[in-house]
Chain A
Amino acid sequence: MNEKGANDQTFRFRNPSQVENILSQYPDRRSALLPLLHMATAEAGYITQPIINAVARIVEAHPSEIMETVSFYSMLHTAPKGEFILQICQTLPCSIRGADNLVDHLCERLSIQPGETTKDGKFTVMKVECLGACDIAPLVQVNNDHHEKMTVEKLDKLLKSLS
């Protein structure tokens, strides 16, 4: 995923027909940008310069325009992330239900700062804003899964189950 010299390589999507399929759904090529970036992330783990170049060619835009878009969105990463991305919601409804000490606890346990990844590449901890699941606050999302009504104890158990 993070091979040396990765930026010198050319990126090709594994399934070119899927690229064509995405493009065919939109009236113009540029609109296909986010779906292509999602697909690239699923294949490569994060957005590399070769991906930006490849996608720029596909949607017929300059790589700098692609980079401009990429840099706007919190789900598009330009650096490798851990195998498990732990997103801890910080927003008011979660905060009221006791989310405030979860990040500190987690970072202490993993000896990293928010936004960082553990040395073994296993965990990335991210402070995030509202994930739209305030009914089960405080919420911790691990990759695509919700873990509800989190406490320090439940967080420890969760870490154990992922280790």
Chain B
Amino acid sequence: MTGHSDPARFEPVLTRDVHLQDSHTLRTYVKGGGYASLNKILKGGGPDDVTQEIKASNLRGRGGAGFPTGKKWEFVPKDSPKPKYLICNADESEPGTFKDRLIMNKAPHRMLEGMIIASYAIDCHKAFIYIRGEFYKEYKILEGAVGEAYEANLLGENISGSDYHLDVVIHRGAGAYICGEETGLLESLEGKRGWPRIRPPFPAVAGYLACPTVVQNVETLACLPDIIDRGSGWFKSIGPEQGPGPKLFCLSGSVNNPGVYEAPMGVPLSELIYDFGGGIDGGKALKAVLPGGVSSAVLTAEGIEGLNMDFESLAARHTILGSAGIIVMDESVNMVNACLNLARFFAQESCGQCTPCREGTVWLVQILTRLFRGNAQRKDIDLILDVTENIGGLSDLSQGSYGKTLCPFGEAVAWPVRSFVEKFQDEFAATF
């Protein structure tokens, strides 16, 4: 796995130490300035100062939804008598996404320092890392890192001589994509099926065990130490001001050099594919790109021209940055088969709670299978569009979300499937 960037233009932040042999150890992290930000806030003006600094940085969540981090923390009621919880969402499962795994493997202390900073800001004394069950190696690395942090008094009682205390528990999932959705995750942490909850109440008010809870993605937390260290102004200067910062992009599919690459938010997609990714595998022509995992609407080769990888630029092209899992498809990829593949993924991973999603995803697999096998009719195309409408509502992101299910999974099915059918009409029509 790679994790580099062009040093001439951008100095990596999140991956700056990952090339070092022992980058996962406390000693190496501290040698590079690690945990200085934690010590800075513990001696600083208090939790509100931290929240204000993060809010001023315009950091937006890296898990997929892109919600402003500082704002999320402000939703936590300060006067609640209940304990407050922070959960690091390490349930990375969006196809095409493997950036959090890199952080857990190579920079676990960066993530951990971010967790302690966030916990301090929201007055939390018990935090959880909800890690995907299949990530066993990463679990063991995190276990080592948490152990080191306790030994060095960076966790536990009186952290670094302050009066702040925090415990961190690593909690392994057991195989369910939907547990990456924050309320599904909360149910799972409570020892139940990972069935997403009706909102409101939002987790910040009533989350884990009905207590105020903040759920943050691994990469989001890994951004925090440098924001504290270098200030919100520095962070905001990287990429577009409304959603700035260093960003990890995952490249997979038909590229010569798949991997994780760090670049400023707003990097041109073509630069990622052709410079970082070394271009299309086998010198073939580019056909399509899913820019933000399989839950994003697909783009054609023409559709990525002049496209920058940031929240707003992608929304303007009716798709999403999502988890920045860029899946590249060359001219030899059959779009009907690709669409069937992702429909099957959604049918497999639908939690089964909402009827439109549970039934609709299975319908989509059946119809797309017919198309792929050449047994379909023209009206099946309309049926696909009808089913996606029924699951996810309008696919026009500029009009806001119109999902018809409890959680965003419904839209995550509808948008990509519909986009394949609409943008590759000829290929779909050629099957009947």
Question: A residues bordering B, Cβ < 8 Å?
Answer: 25-28, 30-35, 37-38, 59, 61, 68-69, 72-76, 90-93, 95-97, 129-137, 141, 144
Contact = CB atoms under 8 A, between A and B. Distances in A.
A93 B191 CA distance: 32
A76 to B, nearest CB: 5
B95 A93 contact: yes
B51 interface: no
A136 B2 CA distance: 11
B193 A69 contact: yes
A92 B329 CA distance: 10
User: Which one of A28, A73, A92 has the greatest number of beta carbons of chain B within 10 Å?
Assistant: A92
Interface of B: 1-2, 83, 92-98, 101, 126, 132-137, 167, 169, 171-177, 188-194, 209, 250-254, 258-260, 290, 294, 325, 327, 329, 333, 337-338, 341-342, 344-345, 348-349, 351
B95 A34 contact: no
A90 B211 CA distance: 38
A30 B313 CA distance: 44
A68 B188 CA distance: 12
A70 to B, nearest CB: 9
Given A134-B327, A144-B136, 9 more contacts: A31-B190, A68-B192, A69-B191, A76-B174, A96-B327, A96-B329, A129-B345, A130-B95, A132-B97
A92 B338 contact: yes
A159 to B, nearest CB: 21
B96 A93 contact: yes
A131 B96 CA distance: 9
Contact of B133 (A75, A130, A133): A75
A129 B174 contact: no
B96 A92 contact: yes
22 contacts: A27-B83, A27-B126, A27-B209, A28-B209, A30-B190, A31-B191, A38-B174, A59-B191, A69-B192, A74-B175, A75-B174, A75-B175, A90-B345, A91-B294, A93-B96, A93-B327, A97-B253, A129-B95, A132-B134, A134-B327, A135-B252, A135-B259
Contacts of B209: 27-28, 31
B249 to A, nearest CB: 12
A76 B175 CA distance: 8
A90 B348 CA distance: 11
B190 A72 contact: no
4 closest residue pairs by CB, A with B: A33-B191, A74-B175, A134-B252, A73-B174
A26 B172 CA distance: 13
Contacts of B325: 134
Contact of B98 (A31, A38, A133, A144): A133
A129 B97 CA distance: 13
A161 B133 CA distance: 26
A37 B175 CA distance: 13
Given A90-B344, A92-B253, A129-B348, A134 B98 contact: yes
B192 A137 contact: no
A90 B344 CA distance: 10
User: Which one of A69, A129, A136 has the greatest number of beta carbons of chain B within 10 Å?
Assistant: A129
Contacts of B259: 135
Given A30-B190, A73-B175, A92 B294 contact: yes
A134 B2 CA distance: 12
A26 B252 contact: no
A133 B342 CA distance: 17
Contacts of B173: 34, 73
